């Protein structure tokens, strides 16, 4: 087929294959995950849930969606799940629509400290429809101070407290968050979009035991297709006393389901749901468990090596798959570092650091993650080499000769790690 779009897809495949992918939110899916996504299921309308659809011909997609739901339940030991959200942002929108009224207060992690847009940013629906308040990290420790979370909760009386982040390298104290949420009568949501895979396999604290609701993406550490999910460790009666027409108190699961459809979405993407199912099946294997162990090991070694080289990591290290580097002592902005690294085929993203004095377009930091390079096959012994390539670029970010040399070294190195057979 000679369509420009397919030529461009091949170019993108080449880019992904030749470079070092260090964006903390990215990963490489398996051929099977990709195959399910590119299937005839994209042709099917299936508004509603398995067994309760608004369209005919859903008998097979019903089985697929149920199988996907069961695999996700097994993976997280969840009593209830919804696998239809098109993305992480959609999952959060559905939960907020289901649990809040316009104008209610919410309390989330500050975007400029590592939080996510959908946790109350003024440019996002969550900051436009709800009154958003934030907690952040302690300036010295780089960690969330639970006393501050409690003070903010008492002062702002939120209806919903959100834990979870896009650039936070430490684990979360979900039990403590729950104690605080209960003390102000708030619902507690954990958005585990980033560390979901590590949580699923028991490497980090389990939010499902403590949080009312958990949302996630499926395409970050979980290594599935681009998408979202909502889960509950345990279903419960809705706290607002909303009853069905028959006078039965509605369960939270029903309220969340209707937050997805018809609340915020139309027809589910059954090809993506099938692909999520394939990815959840993979995530249940021993091989994936070993992958998650290696992701954390690689991140920890890379972080320690960078610290030894004089880099300032927020909170001085990592418990998970990512790290946030404050580049102010290296006299380079996040923007310039990202650009130089990109030139050398090392992909990262510029990122605000806590208490940043630069704009989100410039920033003082970069965020680095190990999920993609670990899928690629890099191991402990590769991390010092990776750190020194990053360091060469950052300390020579204006020296084109050095950048060209690093780029060819990166390309040579990656040619030993084939990707994709499709
Ligand atoms: C990535 C992310 C999201 C959004 O996911 P999309 O699929 O890009 O909409 C939501 N919350 C957190 C914490 C994230 O890191």
Q: How far is the CA of 115 from the centre of ligand 1 (A)?
A: 10
Q: What is the pLDDT of residues 84-97, one digit of tens each?
A: 999 999 999 999 99
Average model confidence (pLDDT) for the chain? Answer: 97
- Ligand 1 in contact with 23 (CB < 6 A)? no
pLDDT value for 238: 96
DSSP 8-state symbol, 27:
-
- Residue extent(s) of CATH 3.90.1150.10 domains in the chain: 286-414
State residue 306's pLDDT score: 98
The closest residue, in CA terms, to atom 8 on ligand 1 is 88
Q: Does residue 34 register a pLDDT over 80?
A: yes
Structure confidence at residue 111 as a pLDDT band (50, 70, 90): very high
Report CA(363)–ligand 1 centroid distance (Å). 20
Q: Alpha-carbon distance 284 to 224, whole Å?
A: 12
Average of pLDDT values for 374-403?
98
- Give the model's pLDDT for residue 383: 98
Taking only the tens place, the pLDDT of each residue in 294-308 is 999 999 999 999 999
pLDDT band per the 50, 70, 90 thresholds, residue 101:
very high
Of the pLDDT bands very low, low, confident and very high (cuts 50, 70, 90), residue 420 is: confident
Predicted pLDDT at 421: 76
**Rounded distance from Cα 73 to ligand 1 centre (Å):** 20
pLDDT on residue 226: 98
Q: What is the pLDDT of residues 212-222, one digit of tens each?
A: 999 999 999 99
Give the closest residue (by CA) to ligand 1 atom 5.
88
HEC readout, 157-222: CCCEEEECCCCCCCCCCHHHHHHHHHHHCCEEEEECCCCHHHHHCCCCCCHHHCCCEEEEECCCCC
- Residue 1's pLDDT is 60
| Residues belonging to the active site | 45, 47, 191, 217, 220, 226
93-103: average pLDDT: 98
Mean pLDDT throughout 148-174? 98
Residue 22's pLDDT band (cuts 50, 70, 90): very high
Q: Up-side HSE of residue 231: CA atoms within 13 Å toward CB? A: 33
Contacts of 264 (CB under 8 A, 6+ apart): 90, 93, 94, 97
Q: Is the CB of 164 under 6 A from ligand 1?
A: yes
Pick the CATH number of 286-414 from 2.20.28.120, 3.40.50.300, 3.90.1070.10, 3.90.1150.10: 3.90.1150.10
CA of residue 88 to ligand 1 center, whole Å: 4
Minimum CA distance residue for ligand 1 atom 15? 166
Closest-CA residue, ligand 1 atom 4, reads 88
Q: Is 195 in the pocket of ligand 1 (CB under 6 A)?
A: no
Task: Give start and end residues of each alpha helix (H) in 268-316.
Answer: 270-283, 286-308
Assigned architecture for domain 31-283: 3-Layer(aba) Sandwich (3.40)
- Listed in order, the ranges of the chain carrying CATH 3.40.640.10 are 31-283
Residue nearest to atom 3 of ligand 1 (CA): 88
pLDDT, tens digit, for every residue of 123-146? 999 999 999 999 999 999 999 999
CB-based contact 214:81 (threshold 8 Å): no
Tell whether ligand 1 has an atom less than 6 A from the beta carbon of residue 116: yes
Note the pLDDT tens digit of each residue in 239-278. Answer: 999 999 999 999 999 999 999 999 999 999 999 999 999 9
Residue holding tokens 């954990």?
190
Query: Cα–Cα distance between 354 and 28 in angstroms, integer?
Result: 29
Q: How far is CA 248 from CA 242, 243, 244, 338, in A?
A: 8, 5, 5, 55
Instruction: Quote the pLDDT of residue 422.
Output: 66
Instruction: For ligand 1, say whether the CB of 166 is within 6 Å of any of its atoms.
Output: yes
The mean pLDDT of 348-364, rounded to a whole number, is 96
């Amino acid at each position: 087929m000679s369509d420009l779009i397919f030529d461009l897809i091949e170019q993108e495949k080449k880019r992904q294959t030749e470079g070092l992918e260090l964006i903390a939110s990215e990963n490489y899916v398996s051929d099977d995950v990709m195959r399910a996504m590119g299937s005839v299921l994209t042709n099917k309308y299936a508004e509603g849930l398995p067994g309760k659809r608004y369209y005919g011909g859903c008998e097979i997609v019903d089985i697929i969606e149920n199988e996907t739901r069961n695999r996700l339940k097994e993976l997280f030991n969840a009593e209830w799940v919804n696998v239809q959200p098109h993305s992480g942002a959609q999952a959060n929108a559905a939960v907020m629509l289901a649990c809040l009224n316009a104008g209610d207060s919410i309390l989330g992690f500050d975007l400029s400290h590592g939080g996510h847009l959908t946790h109350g940013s003024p440019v996002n629906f969550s900051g436009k429809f709800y009154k958003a308040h934030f907690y952040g990290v302690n300036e010295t420790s780089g960690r969330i101070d639970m006393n501050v979370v409690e003070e903010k909760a008492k002062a702002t009386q939120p209806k919903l407290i959100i834990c979870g982040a896009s650039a936070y390298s430490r684990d979360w104290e979900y039990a403590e968050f729950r104690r605080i949420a209960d003390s102000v009568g708030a619902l507690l949501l954990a958005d585990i979009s980033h560390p979901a895979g590590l949580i699923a396999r028991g490497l980090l604290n389990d939010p499902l035991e403590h949080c009312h609701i958990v949302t996630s993406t499926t395409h970050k550490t979980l290594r599935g297709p681009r998408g979202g999910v909502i889960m509950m460790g345990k279903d419960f009666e809705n706290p607002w006393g909303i009853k069905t027409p028959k006078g039965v108190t509605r369960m939270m699961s029903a309220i969340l389901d209707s937050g997805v459809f018809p609340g915020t979405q139309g027809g589910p993407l059954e090809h993506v749901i099938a692909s999520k199912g394939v990815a959840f099946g993979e995530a249940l294997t021993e091989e994936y468990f070993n992958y998650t162990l290696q992701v954390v090991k690689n991140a920890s070694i890379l972080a320690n090596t960078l610290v030894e080289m004089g880099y300032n990591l927020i909170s001085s290290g990592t418990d998970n798959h990512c790290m946030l580097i404050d580049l102010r002592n290296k006299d380079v902005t996040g923007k310039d570092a990202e650009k130089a690294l990109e030139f050398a085929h090392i992909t990262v993203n510029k990122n605000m650091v806590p208490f940043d004095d630069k704009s989100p377009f410039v920033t003082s930091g970069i965020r680095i993650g190990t999920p993609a390079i670990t899928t690629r096959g890099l191991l402990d012994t590769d991390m010092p080499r990776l750190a020194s390539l990053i360091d060469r670029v950052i300390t020579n970010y204006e020296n084109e000769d050095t950048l060209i040399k690093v780029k060819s070294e990166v390309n040579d190195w990656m040619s030993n790690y084939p990707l994709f057979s499709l």
